[in-house]
């Protein structure tokens, strides 16, 4: 274990981009096996080699820069996915809909009948069935 620790000293290790590449590689491996595509298998080898290269790289600054660029695009997607997940999780307690004026996503507690809703973004007032 100490030998491995010494080997990893000064090396970059894993980050969000490496994990994303691993997940993408695993999904492509699964698809490649399902449709029996050698080309996809070849791409997954390249992806897994890139993961190993990034993890063992001693150019920490360059790897950190790559991860920053990745996070710039991934964070909005991640936030959108989390929002959709929370909507699905709480859809038994809340009804979700969009403001007819500004398309802002709104929610009201379920089972309260027809209620008057005021959009917090644009101030539009309308009747909504909960």
The residues binding Zn ion (CB under 5 A) are 99, 101-102, 104, 119, 121-122, 124
Least gap, CB of 111 to Zn ion (angstroms): 23
Least gap, CB of 117 to Zn ion (angstroms): 9
Q: Of 58 and 103, which CB lies nearer to Zn ion in the complex structure?
A: 103
Least gap, CB of 104 to Zn ion (angstroms): 4
Q: Of 68 and 101, which CB lies nearer to Zn ion in the complex structure?
A: 101
Cα–Cα nearest to 28, from 39, 16, 44, 17: 44
Q: Of 69 and 102, which CB lies nearer to Zn ion in the complex structure?
A: 102
User: CB count, 10 Å around CB of 41?
Assistant: 13
Q: Of 82 and 103, which CB lies nearer to Zn ion in the complex structure?
A: 103
Distances (CA, A) of 71 to 16, 19, 20, 27, 64: 8, 12, 10, 20, 10
Least gap, CB of 95 to Zn ion (angstroms): 16
């Amino acid at each position: 274990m100490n030998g491995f620790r010494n080997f990893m000293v000064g090396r970059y290790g894993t980050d969000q981009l490496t994990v994303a590449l691993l997940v993408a590689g695993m999904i492509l491996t699964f698809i490649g096996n399902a449709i029996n595509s050698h080309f996809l298998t070849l791409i997954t080898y390249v992806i897994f080699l890139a993961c190993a290269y990034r993890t063992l790289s001693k150019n920490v600054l360059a790897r950190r820069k790559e991860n920053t660029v990745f996070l710039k695009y991934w964070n909005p997607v991640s936030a959108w996915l989390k929002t959709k997940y929370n909507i699905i999780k709480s859809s038994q307690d809340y009804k979700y809909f969009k403001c007819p004026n500004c398309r802002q996503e709104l929610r009201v507690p379920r089972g309260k009948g027809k209620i008057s809703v005021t959009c917090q973004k644009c101030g539009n007032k309308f009747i909504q069935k909960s």
